[in-house]
Structure 1
Amino acid sequence: MIPQLAKETKVLIVDDQVLAKGYMKYSLEELGFSDITYVDKAQLALERIRHQHYNLIVCSYNLKRDQDGYYLYEQLKHNNELPPSTAFIFISADTTSDIVHSIVELQPDDFLAKPFTVNDLDKRLSKVLSRKKALNGVYRYMEKRQYPKALSELEQFLAEPKNSEFYPLALKTKGDLLLASGHYEQARDFFHAILNVQTFTWAQLGLVNAYIHLDEDEQAEKLVLRLAFKPECQLAAYDLLSALQIKQKDFNAALECVLVATEISPRNIRRHKTALDLSRITHDYASQFDAAKKIVKFAKDSIHDLPENYLNVARAGIDYAMTCEDDETDRLIKQANEYVKQFKAAFPKAELHEQMKVINARLLYLQDEKENAKALLEQLEEENWETDSLEALLDKAKAFHELGWFERSANIMDKIEQRCVRDEKQGSLFMQYLQQEKKEREDIKLPPKALNNKAVELFEKGDIENALVTFRQAFTVMPKNPAIALNLLQTLSKESSNDDTHPPSHRLIKACIETIENGTLTEEQEARYHRVRGILEQVS
């Protein structure tokens, strides 16, 4: 360690283990550090960082007393409270794969596994602090979001041969700045030039990003699919791939991609929220319910721990129950009620009485207590469109629609859409879901399960034309249900055998077959499926 560098470095240690703090104090003093502050809670660290600039933060990943190191770092990054000139290093005794993946995707300046020696610490800190000091001028402009000045400073830095040891980091920073500045063509050409010399992973990821923004989707897809097989950049590749699929409106593929990434690194709340949004668009009620539960689980003791998380689980459970058989519906109602209880225990002072009335009304509807559900909704105060959350308003619209108050439901949908248009922060996926939900509820008045029952009744009466219309509506809102897919496929085969001049849609048949073969059928349904496939093969 360069003595002057250690002397100039202001250090914050975040650790709640007495022995670990003692060893860290001894190690840092051995290396010449003297300006050292210790805290044992993430909240105390946050307060210090907000009032004081630190050159180095060494944080335990495994804080026990309140939120842990993961969420402290995430909060600092989310709020732009961690300047790029500050080095942030995680230390942890736990090196299981999910912990390592979580830390790697956060991209701190380094990660040091316990136990470590003074010599280990010396090597890591010397490298990190030297990099920060060398690029300090660039970082200062980045902190002020003065990207043109940062790029100019970076060009001067790269022109100096004495800085050659830091060229890889400087080049990566240049690529990041070009993307942040929206100079996508320049960024693409820059990354190409880098890759012609050496195949840095960061340059490949940057090139994919540039391709996506330049609508060069084919090149982006080819490259990102290769990167998804590399462990060191797997998560970043999955994020870029799902972004590309969302851009192309291939929401099923995007959901599959995001769910794989959540398995690799389960603590990333943003990714679970994306999974929730995508599962709603694709009508994957099971995945929606699972994502909502994971948000509650992993958001505890973090900036994401909010009362509405619990209510969103209840809402997702209700949406799921609307599509299930009675025994499954009962199980989902119990789980929804359990999360309502957890919400009340975790946030006893939260005043969300109106939202609770809507949730309870929807639960009553599921239990065939429609009049009680209506009475509960009639108790709602005059709608306050500006203060209710969008999720609360959406839930209210669903409740009114389920109980037959279609005009009131449509009015709420309109208000939500108006707010989304005004609110630039609202995600495009929510808007996509809202517009889809709005159209479907305009076109389809019956609830999901009733659609299938009505279609079966029409089919048995021989009214194939109207049965087909109703089964298609049921499949629209329940595309993952193999029984409904089979009923629709059977109706399509019946129609095609009656009228061979209008063959059924191959895309629809393919979608039905995909749902059936990815699902589970009874023995009777399996036999019926093979008969139907035979009929369709004869008429195709």
Structure 2
Amino acid sequence: MDPDFLALRRVLLVDDCAPVRASIKGMLQQIGFKLIYQAKDAIEAISICEQHALDFILCDFNLGDCQDGYQLFETLKSRQLLHSMCCFVIISAESQRQIVHGVIELQPDDYILKPFTFPVLKERMVKVMKEKMALRKIFQASQDGDLAEACRQADAIIRQQNEVQLQAERLKGELLLQAGDYQQAEIYYQQLVNQRKPVWSKLGLAISILQQQRFDEAERLLSELTEHDETAVESRDYLAQLYFRRGNLKRAFDILQYVTQLSPKNIPRQKTMANLALLCHDFAAAARIFHKIAGLARHSMHDSAQNYLNHARCIIDNANQQAPIDRANALGHVGKLLDSLVKRFSPELIAFDLQILQVRLLCAKGKLAEAKQLLAKYQQLTEQEHHPETCLDAAKAYFETGDIYGCQFYVSQLRKQLDKANFLTDSQRLLLNTEQRRYEALYQQLKQLIQQATEAYQQQEYGKAVLIFSRASKEMPTNPALALSLLQAMTKCSGVSADTLPVARNALSLLQSAPLEQRVQERFKQYQQILSKQYSQLQNTQRG
């Protein structure tokens, strides 16, 4: 390669070991590079990438206690700090399957195992740069968003039948899939498979068939591809999507659980798996996964308060299914988790999230009147955009406090955000639909109960009315109108069951703290006086 060309290329060397950096820098100088930047960690590397348009990045996988090479590459791609012609090569002494599979997923330009010699480094770097140069028109058109032009450039290279023909063929298939032209992609990949091209051609064929919803054919191909190291992760990812679309959520979860063992650093996949656990009502598994996500994402671009908040949310969901003693222990853990959360992240930035969690904590502890007071005191419904998980949690909080309108408000806000087409948002969309169906079914059930109780009261079947109002109050314990109706029916009864008294106490507590109109307040006082005479257990409730 022309020495003058190499002398003008900007190279970044990222390694946390100074002697190793010095040794590799010497090799780079021998190759002909003169503009060599060095970084000991990801923070320094990102800073250099922000200041300079680099042509080549040589990055060690292990970079000490902070971001590793995988996470750095992910961050640079996400922040668009790598221009289309920049070559990114990972170097590492690690050959563990987890690391190799993770690197394959991100698709750097090359992966070089340590230790390596000067001739090996030179050969691999020159090869990568030549390939980039030969394919530059494809990359540029793709980066500009002109997929049709990128395909035309790929065809031009394929016709030349030179040393980068195979790479151009692979890029063309990926461009067809990216454009959503699945029928044409199927025809193209089938031709490559017939020509006995590498295993990625068969994966492309399977994906194009899956996207056309021919699930049986896709399942057969994807199952075969799981036996190849190169496609072990991606084929299982698409298999999980296939089972998800078929409605077999447990099978999709099991496959993703296996894939995360092969390549654990893919945070969107971990989040998708947690959503599948929630859809399967396995709240304990979802809590464990979100706990793991918080640790894995600590030094990555995915590190955020939402990871810890999601862990807390799942603990609350799981606690609502547990026995009282276990529930108290779990909710105590949530309190500690939130205390540690505000030490890492600014409380002002997550104030709404923390408030909603406090409301749900109070609901889980049975302090429903306090929960509704907190929600009414600090929160007004606004069009301010919140994180998708925050919207879902807010919908749950409003539903648990009996505010159907507030619940639907945040359901609608969340639905507006889920417009992307990928496995993660698909799982979020299904989770949202499932929750909404649950809310609607329960709401309809409550309407029927209230109608039945009202009819029983009008027919002077007061005992029956009390039982039905009590049942409805257990489902919607923060509805003042329902609470007042229950107390009214109880004043007409000669006696009620022991099960009804705790519900009556909650109704009294709710109405004591709720802002009531003068007319309603007078009715409440009247019922309270009557009930305090009828039931000694209720005598200690007086409105202040």
Question: For 1:498-535, what per-residue CA distance to the aligned partner results, in whole angstroms no more than 9, with x for missing partners?
Answer: xxxxxxxxxxxxxxxxxxxxxxxxxxxxxxxxxxxxxx
Q: Which residue of 2 aligns with 1:485?
A: none
Q: Which residue of 2 aligns with 1:37?
A: 37
For the residue of structure 1 that corresponds to 2:333, the secondary structure is helix
Question: For 1:284-311, what per-residue CA distance to the aligned partner results, in whole angstroms no more than 9, with x for missing partners?
Answer: 2122112211221111122211122211
Q: Which residue of 2 aligns with 1:128?
A: 128
Q: 1:440: Cα distance to partner?
A: 0.8
For the residue of structure 2 that corresponds to 1:279, the secondary structure is helix
Q: Which residue of 1 aligns with 2:508?
A: none
Counterpart-to-counterpart distance in 1, 2:348 and 2:103: 33
The answer to whether the Cα contact below 8 Å between 1:2 and 1:126 also exists between their aligned partners in 2 is no
Q: Which residue of 2 aligns with 1:370?
A: 368
For the residue of structure 1 that corresponds to 2:378, the secondary structure is coil
Q: Which amino acid aligns with 2:213?
A: D
1:107-256 superposed matches below 5 A? 107-161=107-161, 163=162, 165-256=163-254
1:92 corresponds to 2:92: yes
The answer to whether the Cα contact below 8 Å between 1:11 and 1:56 also exists between their aligned partners in 2 is yes
1:394-409 superposed matches below 5 A? 394-403=392-401, 405-409=402-406
Question: For 1:310-368, what per-residue CA distance to the aligned partner results, in whole angstroms no more than 9, with x for missing partners?
Answer: 11111111001111223432342233223212311111454323322221232233333
Question: For 1:179-201, what per-residue CA distance to the aligned partner results, in whole angstroms no more than 9, with x for missing partners?
Answer: 22222222111111111121511
Counterpart-to-counterpart distance in 2, 1:124 and 1:418: 48
Q: Which amino acid aligns with 1:9?
A: R
Counterpart-to-counterpart distance in 1, 2:326 and 2:204: 46
Residues 183, 389 of structure 1: CA spacing in aligned structure 2 closer, same or farther, 3 A cutoff?
closer
Question: For 1:136-188, what per-residue CA distance to the aligned partner results, in whole angstroms no more than 9, with x for missing partners?
Answer: 22222222122222222222222224x2x222112111211222222222211
Residues 113, 417 of structure 1: CA spacing in aligned structure 2 closer, same or farther, 3 A cutoff?
closer
Residues 37, 238 of structure 1: CA spacing in aligned structure 2 closer, same or farther, 3 A cutoff?
same
Q: Which residue of 1 aligns with 2:408?
A: 411
Q: 1:255: Cα distance to partner?
A: 1.6
Counterpart-to-counterpart distance in 1, 2:351 and 2:178: 43
Question: For 1:12-39, what per-residue CA distance to the aligned partner results, in whole angstroms no more than 9, with x for missing partners?
Answer: 1122321121011111112222221222
State the percentage of identical aligned residues: 28
1:107-506 superposed matches below 5 A? 107-161=107-161, 163=162, 165-403=163-401, 405-416=402-413, 419-420=416-417, 427-444=425-442
Residues 395, 196 of structure 1: CA spacing in aligned structure 2 closer, same or farther, 3 A cutoff?
same
Counterpart-to-counterpart distance in 2, 1:46 and 1:56: 14
Q: 1:70: Cα distance to partner?
A: 1.6
Task: State the TM-score, normalized to the length of structure 2.
Answer: 0.76
Counterpart-to-counterpart distance in 1, 2:267 and 2:42: 18
1:71 corresponds to 2:71: yes
For the residue of structure 1 that corresponds to 2:166, the secondary structure is helix
Q: Which amino acid aligns with 1:390?
A: P
Question: For 1:206-235, what per-residue CA distance to the aligned partner results, in whole angstroms no more than 9, with x for missing partners?
Answer: 111111222222211110011112222111
Q: 1:47: Cα distance to partner?
A: 3.8
Q: Which residue of 1 aligns with 2:14?
A: 14
Counterpart-to-counterpart distance in 2, 1:423 and 1:390: 12
RMSD value over aligned CA atoms? 2.7
Residues 183, 378 of structure 1: CA spacing in aligned structure 2 closer, same or farther, 3 A cutoff?
closer
Counterpart-to-counterpart distance in 2, 1:262 and 1:331: 29
The answer for unaligned runs of 5 or more in structure 2 is 445-470, 476-544
For the residue of structure 2 that corresponds to 1:385, the secondary structure is coil
Q: Which amino acid aligns with 2:228?
A: K
Q: Which amino acid aligns with 1:310?
A: Y
For the residue of structure 2 that corresponds to 1:433, the secondary structure is helix
Q: Which amino acid aligns with 1:156?
A: A
Task: State the TM-score, normalized to the length of structure 1.
Answer: 0.76
Counterpart-to-counterpart distance in 1, 2:177 and 2:435: 34
Residues 101, 376 of structure 1: CA spacing in aligned structure 2 closer, same or farther, 3 A cutoff?
same
Between stretches 148-157 and 362-371, larger displacement belongs to 362-371
Residues 83, 133 of structure 1: CA spacing in aligned structure 2 closer, same or farther, 3 A cutoff?
same
Between stretches 217-226 and 364-373, larger displacement belongs to 364-373
The answer for unaligned runs of 5 or more in structure 1 is 447-469, 475-540
Q: Which amino acid aligns with 2:439?
A: R
Residues 84, 388 of structure 1: CA spacing in aligned structure 2 closer, same or farther, 3 A cutoff?
closer
For the residue of structure 2 that corresponds to 1:159, the secondary structure is helix
Q: Which amino acid aligns with 2:225?
A: L
Question: For 1:34-64, what per-residue CA distance to the aligned partner results, in whole angstroms no more than 9, with x for missing partners?
Answer: 2212223323433433443322111122223
Residues 12, 415 of structure 1: CA spacing in aligned structure 2 closer, same or farther, 3 A cutoff?
same
Residues 29, 94 of structure 1: CA spacing in aligned structure 2 closer, same or farther, 3 A cutoff?
same
For the residue of structure 1 that corresponds to 2:164, the secondary structure is helix
The answer to whether the Cα contact below 8 Å between 1:420 and 1:431 also exists between their aligned partners in 2 is no
The answer to whether the Cα contact below 8 Å between 1:410 and 1:438 also exists between their aligned partners in 2 is no
The answer to whether the Cα contact below 8 Å between 1:208 and 1:223 also exists between their aligned partners in 2 is yes
Counterpart-to-counterpart distance in 2, 1:48 and 1:350: 31
Counterpart-to-counterpart distance in 2, 1:324 and 1:331: 10
For the residue of structure 2 that corresponds to 1:305, the secondary structure is coil
The answer to whether the Cα contact below 8 Å between 2:203 and 2:235 also exists between their aligned partners in 1 is yes
Q: Which amino acid aligns with 2:227?
A: F
The number of aligned residues is: 446
Q: Which amino acid aligns with 1:86?
A: C
The answer to whether the Cα contact below 8 Å between 2:394 and 2:407 also exists between their aligned partners in 1 is no
Between stretches 80-89 and 207-216, larger displacement belongs to 80-89
Q: Which amino acid aligns with 2:361?
A: L
Between stretches 139-148 and 236-245, larger displacement belongs to 139-148
For the residue of structure 2 that corresponds to 1:83, the secondary structure is coil
Residues 349, 65 of structure 1: CA spacing in aligned structure 2 closer, same or farther, 3 A cutoff?
farther
Q: Which amino acid aligns with 1:373?
A: A
Q: 1:133: Cα distance to partner?
A: 1.9
